[in-house]
Structure 1
Amino acid sequence: MVSNILKWVAGGLEGFLGIPILGGTIIVSLLWAPLFIMLALHIVGLVFASSEGTDKTGHILGIVTSVVGFIPFVGMIMHIVTAVFLLMEAAKNK
């Protein structure tokens, strides 16, 4: 249950950060702090997903996204892909 809520929240945030220009501006203006916050959120989500036995793919992909998210176009694409995975997993577990 908790992992499903975390997937909805993380998926929404990843989608927001994947918006062209806006997401990049927010990440750069906050000195990449959103990437560190999302990394922590995905690690917590992965722990809950592991303990509840739900899909872990979205959170693992989110961890990778947080690590490579500072690369301009790669980061945007990864945020969008991660958002899609997380939101699909959250909808499936409903």
Structure 2
Amino acid sequence: MSLSRIMKWVTGGSEAFLGIPLIGGSFILSTSWGALLVMFILHTVTLFIARNEKGNITGSILGMVTSFIGVIPVVGMIMHIITAIVLLIDAATNKH
């Protein structure tokens, strides 16, 4: 399994957790939005790895955008869920 695929599983699972109503939001608030910074960094690392492996970078870019939009309560939750779905599907179907 490629490193980009592993990173997509990790970031997709993390996004899914952050998208859980109340639980994800509470976690983000308890870290003073630090979780969003960590996710931005993880998505950036995943983007570079996927690009170097000639893989799909769409989910990582979407994740970076979601990290910024994540500060908006309901919109952020929806974006976390969408990003999780995109990343997890990409990780499951990526054969690199």
Q: TM-score range by the shorter chain?
A: over 0.9
> 1:62 maps to what in 2?
63
Whichever residue aligns with residue 90 of structure 1, its letter is A
TM-score of the pair, normalised by structure 2: 0.96
Runs (5+) with no aligned partner, structure 2: none
> 2:91 maps to what in 1?
90
> 2:47 maps to what in 1?
46
Per-residue deviation at 1:15?
0.0
Per-residue deviation at 1:29?
1.2
For 1:82 and 1:13, how far apart are their aligned partners in 2? Answer: 10
> 2:12 maps to what in 1?
11
Q: 1:57-79 CA deviation, whole Å, 9 max, x = no partner?
A: 10000000001100000100000
TM-score of the pair, normalised by structure 1: 0.98
- Root-mean-square deviation (CA, aligned residues, Å) is 0.5
Identical counterparts, % of pairs: 55
Following TM superposition, where does structure 1 have runs of at least 4 consecutive aligned residues deviating by more than 2 angstroms?
A: none
